[in-house]
Structure formats: structure tokens, C-alpha cells
């Protein structure tokens, strides 16, 4: 029994020594393998560094592209906004021109009234037409001043020109009417002074 126990201890020690040797051999083999693969590892690491640099470059370029795309979107939005404003302005201008044309057409001086106001006779037969022409002229002039006229139209050159034409007609008619009345009353006074029987009848 004692012999068997001693032999068991000896076998255990031998087994332990064998394990140590195999472990040392494995460690040596691992070190050798690591030494052999070191160049490959370095190459892989260099490749990873290169890849990381490429990724960084791509991120930088993507950042630049994002900024440019954002600016492009802002520019497109700005252009679209301006186009919408121009389109709206074009529609408004078209409507404004149509309204202005209607106004000027309404204020177109009839040839008959123009002839009466600038050179018509003041005899009794023509007086009705002269009054009609004066009423038309007065209404046309009143229609060209604020608040009877939109301030937008009042400041337009075409409206100012039309108002100028009407003012010329008014001045011409007033001058002619003043001269006619002056001459008429002067001749009437002369007639009454020369006709002595007129005062006796009075």
C-alpha cells in the first residue's frame, strides 16, 4: 500500500513536469507566432489608419456638401419667393393697367365738347350744348382728384397728363366766357346809355 502511494506521487510529479514543458512549448510557439504575424498586424493597422483618414475626409466633404446643399435650398427658396412676388406684382400691374385704361377711356374728351369748350359760340342756340360741355368738364376734373380717385391712379403720369388736358380746356373756356361776358355787358351798357327811351320806360 505504501509503495502504491509513493508511485502515485511520483506519477503526479512527472505529469506536472510534463504539463510545464508542454506549457512552455506552447508559450514559445505563441511568441514565435506573434513575432511572425507582427508585420501583418502592422500592415493591417496601417490599412486601418488609412481607412480612418479616408472616413475623416469623407465626413469633411459630406459636411461641405451639406452646407452647399443648404445654401442651394435657401437660394432656391429665395428665388421661388421672388418669382411668386413678381408673378403677383405682374397680376396686380395687369389689373392696375386695365383699371387705368377704363379710367382714361371714361375721361376721353368727346370731340363735340372739346370743340365747344375751345371755340364754340356763346349764342342762345349753342348755350345748352355749352352747359353740357361745362358739366362734363367739371365732373371729369372732380373725378381726377382724391378722394374721388384712388391715390395710386392720381400719381400716375397718364392721369396727370389727362388732368392737364382738362385744365387747359377749362382755362380756355373760362377766358373765352369772360371775354364774351365782358363784351356782352359792355355792349348792353352802351345800348342802354344810347337808348334814352330805355330809361324812360324803366
- 156 Cβ neighbours under 8 A, 6+ residues apart: 100
In the three-class reduction of DSSP (H, G, I as helix; E, B as strand; rest coil), residue 122 is classed as coil
What pLDDT is attached to residue 81?
A: 93
Q: Give burial (CB, 10 Å; 0-12/13-18/19+) of 140.
A: buried
- Neighbouring C-beta atoms of residue 120, cutoff 10 Å: 18
Q: How far apart are CA 105 and CA 38, in angstroms?
A: 98
Question: What is the pTM for the complete model shown?
Answer: 0.51
Q: Are 141 and 167 in contact (CB under 8 A)?
A: yes
What pLDDT is attached to residue 52?
A: 85
Q: What does the domain layout of the chain look like in residue ranges?
A: 1-75, 107-201
* Per-residue pLDDT tens listing for the chain (202 residues): 444 444 456 676 777 777 777 777 776 666 656 656 667 767 777 877 888 888 888 888 989 989 999 999 999 999 999 999 999 999 988 888 888 788 778 778 889 999 998 987 888 888 899 899 999 999 988 988 888 888 888 888 888 888 999 999 999 999 998 998 898 888 888 887 787 665 555 5
Amino acid at each position: 500500500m505504501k509503495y502504491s502511494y509513493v508511485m502515485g506521487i511520483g506519477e503526479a510529479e512527472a505529469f506536472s513536469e510534463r504539463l510545464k514543458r508542454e506549457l512552455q512549448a506552447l508559450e514559445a510557439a505563441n511568441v514565435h507566432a506573434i513575432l511572425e504575424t507582427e508585420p501583418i498586424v502592422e500592415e493591417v493597422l496601417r490599412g486601418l489608419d488609412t481607412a480612418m483618414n479616408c472616413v475623416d475626409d469623407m465626413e469633411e466633404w459630406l459636411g461641405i456638401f451639406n452646407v452647399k446643399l443648404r445654401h442651394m435650398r435657401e437660394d432656391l427658396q429665395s428665388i421661388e419667393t421672388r418669382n411668386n412676388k413678381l408673378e403677383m406684382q405682374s397680376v396686380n400691374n395687369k389689373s392696375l393697367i386695365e383699371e387705368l385704361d377704363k379710367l382714361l377711356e371714361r375721361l376721353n374728351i368727346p370731340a363735340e365738347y372739346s370743340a365747344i369748350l375751345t371755340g364754340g359760340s356763346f349764342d342762345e342756340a349753342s348755350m345748352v350744348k355749352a352747359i353740357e360741355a361745362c358739366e362734363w368738364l367739371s365732373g371729369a376734373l372732380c373725378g381726377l382728384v382724391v378722394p374721388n380717385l384712388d391715390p395710386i391712379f392720381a400719381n400716375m403720369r397718364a392721369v396727370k397728363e389727362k388732368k392737364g388736358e382738362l385744365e387747359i380746356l377749362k382755362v380756355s373756356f373760362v377766358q373765352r366766357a369772360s371775354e364774351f361776358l365782358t363784351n356782352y355787358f359792355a355792349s348792353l351798357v352802351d345800348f342802354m346809355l344810347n337808348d334814352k327811351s330805355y330809361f324812360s320806360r324803366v
